[in-house]
Structure 1
Amino acid sequence: MNITLTALCYPCPRGWEHFEESCYFFSRSQKTWEASVAACQNLKAQLVIINSEAEERFLQAWEVRNKKRTWIGLSDQHHEGSWHWVDGTPLQLSFWNEGEPNNISEEDCAEYFVDGWNDSLCHLEKACICEKASSPCQPL
């Protein structure tokens, strides 16, 4: 019996992690928040938008293992104190660290760090998390 394999199917591209209906790319390169937005867009994705406690726990598990401060797709750059995701939706469910956001020195972009979110200066360089929808078949 001969079997010809024409494609192997995975919900996410190689190097991405799958969770529920999304694929996540944990970038290790350090970029500003704006450069991270652009880098994710180049991957046909966006900076991560956290929509549920389950998604937060999934991301927290990665953070605990890697101990990296990472940009998420949340900022209040357009109106101080009015936090919006990169897709324009307003923040509803949040996981801020205690006392955050505190806007010290005009901190307008959100980062993720082990125990929750923190507002940070957008021009600082950090790793980032990109997210895009998973699909039924992605070639290896």
Structure 2
Amino acid sequence: MSEEIVYANLKFQDSDKKEETQKSDKCGGKVSSAASHSQQKTVLILTLLCFLLVTGVGVLGGICMYHLILETEMIKSNQLQSVKEELQENVSLQLIHNLNNSQKIKNLSTMLQNLATQLCRELYNKEPEHKCKPCPKGSEWYKDSCYSQFSQYATWQASAMACSARNASLLKVNNKDALEFLKSKKLRSYWLGLSPREDPMTYALSEKVFLPEEFERSTDDINKLYCGYIDRLNVYYTYCTDKNKIICEETASKVQVESVLNGLPEDSM
């Protein structure tokens, strides 16, 4: 009887131990599960922080790199601007230098042209048909004009056409040089490039300079008009259909320096 009681007590104790062990195991499992979940959160947070840190470092590095590149480009831009300003200044100085040289060359060219003209006049006075003469062959060079005289007689209109064919015109007394030329030559019966008139007149050649107007009339009208001609120191008007001698006037060309140099005697070179 006592053995059964002892056995029952042992079994009951064993049962209590099992229940305590099971309860202990259950509590331990719960604690272990909670700890594991907390560790995962910690790892996740640390990972996120690391990611944010790496990202921040990358962004910061990018910003630093951007500022470095920007600063480098600004330095290059300033250097280019300095080079540009220096080049502009050099170009300006070169232009001024070229302009000064151009003006000097122009002045020298003008002086050389004047010397060549003076020398050519001296050669022309000795040899009227010298190669340096800036006028057509057979014409007379006076001041800045060339005068060509023809001994044949023609009407005023025919004379004007003959001069036009030579790229010249009938002599016009429209400047003092022409007036001086007429006085020095004392020409007789040469048509002048004066505008035809409806009535005749006569006057002495004086210091007065005549400025003829352009002649624009039909061929029929000219038969009834009077045209002027020179006879010594007087100007007369007669019918335009009468005949007088022809004198043409044209502007002299520039004297060619080469023609003067080539025309000089060898002992003067």
Alignment TM-score, normalising by the size of structure 2: 0.37
Matching of residue 116 in structure 1 with residue 234 in structure 2? yes
Structure 1 or 2: larger strand share? 1
Which blocks of at least 5 consecutive residues in structure 2 are unaligned? 1-129, 200-209, 216-223, 260-269
- Shift of the 32–84 alpha-carbon distance from structure 1 to 2, 3 Å rule, reads farther
**Helix, strand or coil for the counterpart of 2:192?**
strand
Q: 2:214 matched to which residue of 1?
A: 88
Larger-gyration structure (1/2): 2
CA separation of 1:84/1:109 partners in 2, compared to 1, >3 Å: closer, same or farther?
A: farther
Deviation for aligned residue 1:84: 6.7
Q: What is the root-mean-square deviation in Å for CA atoms of aligned residues?
A: 2.7
1:54 CA displacement: 3.8
Report the alpha carbon displacement of residue 69 of structure 1 after superposing the two structures with TM: 0.6
How high is the sequence identity, in percent, across the aligned residues?
29
Once the two structures are superposed, the pairs formed by residues 3-14 of structure 1 within 5 Å of their partners are: 8-14=131-137
How far apart, CA to CA, are the structure 1 residues paired with 2:254 and 2:152?
29
Deviating beyond 6 angstroms after TM superposition, the runs of 4 or more aligned structure 1 residues are none
Paired position in structure 2 for 1:101? none
One-letter code of the match for 1:116? N
Between Structure 1 and Structure 2, which shows a larger proportion of helix residues? Answer: 2
Q: Is the 8 A contact 2:228 2:237 kept in 1?
A: yes
Q: Which residue does the alignment assign to 2:186? A: 63
Partner of 2:46: none
Please list the CA deviations of residues 19-53 of structure 1 after superposition, one character each: whole Å capped at 9, or x if unmatched.
Answer: 11110011111000000000101111000111234
Q: Deviations over 1:94-131 (max 9, x none)?
A: xxxxxxxxxxxx65200001122111111111102100
Aligned length: 110
- Is 1:126 matched up with 2:126? no
Q: Which amino acid aligns with 2:214?
A: G
Residues 71-97 of structure 1 deviation map (CA, whole Å, 9 limit, x = unaligned): 0011235xx47x973x629xxxxxxxx
**Preserved CA contact (<8 Å) 1:107 1:119:** no
User: 2:146: which partner in 1?
Assistant: 23
TM-score (norm 1): 0.67
Distance 1:37 1:53 in 2: 22
> Given the superposition, is the C-alpha separation of residues 22 and 54 from structure 1 closer, same or farther in structure 2, using an over 3 Å criterion?
closer
